[in-house]
Amino acid sequence: MYYNERLLLHSSLISDLQKLGIKVDVYSTVKNSVDYAKTLNFNNFYLINKIFLPTKIISTFKKILNYSWDYHLKYSNSRKFISFVQNKNNDKFYKFIGFIIAKFKLTLIFNRFFIFLIRLYSNFTNKIDTKFKENLSNYDLVIFGWAYSDFNIIYANYCKANKIKTCALISGYDNISTKSRILFNFDFYFIWSEYMEKEFNYFYPYVRNSQLKIIGNPQYEILKSKNFQTEKKLFFKNNNLNSEKLTVLYALGSPNLIREDIMMFELFDFLNTTDISNDIQFIIRPHPAFYDIADWENLVSKYNFPIYIQKVEEVLKEKDFPSVKAVYEWVNAINHCDLLINATSTITFDAIFANKPVLNVNYDIKLLNTSNYSIKEINKNFSHANIVVNSGGVHICNNTVEIVNYLRNALNNFDEFNSLNLNCRKKLLSEICSLEIQSNPLDKFIKSIKEVLIDAK
């Protein structure tokens, strides 16, 4: 099994599978995760090296393929704003080639040809990890936790050549519409929900529904884990917060896309002048890509209300394996906050699963000149954000004043505020994550693994 380390090492998944008689081996490219596994006496956790496809050739083919599918589907989907924002002024040639391929209805053929080239390269490379080679015959199924990566594609091809079934796990609700295309036709795909199934039908018309297995979001089992939860008063005391105040979790998206921290500090400046500033406090949860977080403590010291900044320990290095402290802060921030502010990121569903109301940022300010895209544009045009904004399950904030008004309403009568869109929140959680607030997030995943193993034998 090859999967996300946070779920494997911090949840009960492995032990639950072992109780069912399912043997589990894990292969990781992150040394820290392997070292941590040893402290848990889990010895079937192996370190392997990343293998990269020929970068220039593959990146060129990827761009042409992505554009070709965009034209083929007659829809400029949200993949582009992440994949090509760095090179959008230099992509005219790739767009033209992609357009020609789509115009002559050759997109699917080009897709198959590209996968064939990767398979050919994989068959002639001898970089597959020795331990993996030795153990492969023992496996009925290999699950890949990041289906888009070069080394996973190469390992998946190796499995196919040895007639071992493969499965891709889609780990985020927006991955189908925002990531580059999956360049391997896996035997099975673990997806979150029927909504994601519809996305698969659209973006990958050659993948059969029988290959798609709905599993919900299994990593939310960790949010319920007693191993990481600290009593609220103690958590707040340790972070110089007041357990009696309204606690707002402000979760920031990637600064490579939009500098939401600029908006956050504008909110703080305005809030500091209001009558509710003494009754509120914040936990700031930065994205792992933030690089200038060290300056924030000086910036927040001027405000009337307490602010705790969760440190980004992984910062882009070995970020695939969150530290125990990072998981602890994630679990307790979600469970002990009263509400969440963010701009349509996945943490929206973390909060809803923990039964917290969500304020969704839906405006831009003049200082946001660091990005080629606006929050309003993303919320309106990109499918992964649009479904959240139009769900009725989040409170849409069109300016800073509206955020403060929502916070005031929450202070005046939190129970009433929390109940305003509760049914819509539950519906959104069910639609996107295929989960109920009280359900066990591992149940559907384990059931799907058992079903796929039966099919694989």
CATH code, domain carrying 290: 3.40.50.2000
Query: pLDDT of 160-216, one tens digit each?
Result: 999 999 999 998 888 888 887 898 999 999 999 999 999 999 889 899 999 999 999
Q: Are residues 182 and 273 in the same domain?
A: no
- The predicted structure's pLDDT at residue 149: 83
For residue 272, what pLDDT is reported?
A: 97
Same domain, 237 and 358: yes
| Domain containing residue 129: CATH number | 3.40.50
Range in 29-33, 345-349, 401-405 the model is least confident about: 29-33
Whether the per-residue pLDDT at 315 is higher than 50: the answer is no
Report the length, in residues, of the chain. Answer: 457
Of 26-35, 109-118, 188-197, the range with the highest mean pLDDT is 188-197
Question: d(Cα 339, Cα 407) in Å, to the nearest integer?
Answer: 9
Q: What is the pTM assigned to this prediction?
A: 0.91
Range of the domain at 255: 228-433
Residues 287 and 304 in one domain: yes
Provide the domain count of the chain: 3
Q: Are residues 88 and 190 in the same domain?
A: no
Write out the DSSP string of 29-96: S-HHHHHHHHHTT---EEE-------HHHHHHHHHHHHHHHHHHTT---THHHHHSTTTGGG-HHHHH
Q: What is the pLDDT of residue 76?
A: 45
- Lowest mean pLDDT, pick from 363-372, 421-430, 441-450: 363-372
Provide the mean pLDDT of the chain: 87
Residue ending a domain, among 78, 107, 136, is 107
**Phi, psi for residue 237 in degrees, rounded to 5:** -60, -40
Is residue 342 domain-resident?
Answer: yes
CA distance 159 to 298: 52
Asked whether residue 50 carries a pLDDT value surpassing 60, the answer given is yes
Task: Report pLDDT for 78.
Answer: 40
Indicate the range of 44-53, 207-216, 240-249, 334-343 predicted with least confidence.
Answer: 44-53
Specify if 144 maps to a domain.
yes
In a domain, 116, yes or no: no
Give the pLDDT score at 213. Answer: 97
User: 250 and 194: one domain?
Assistant: no
Are 209 and 73 found together in one domain?
A: no
Same domain for 320 and 369, yes or no, is yes
Position 311 in a domain: yes
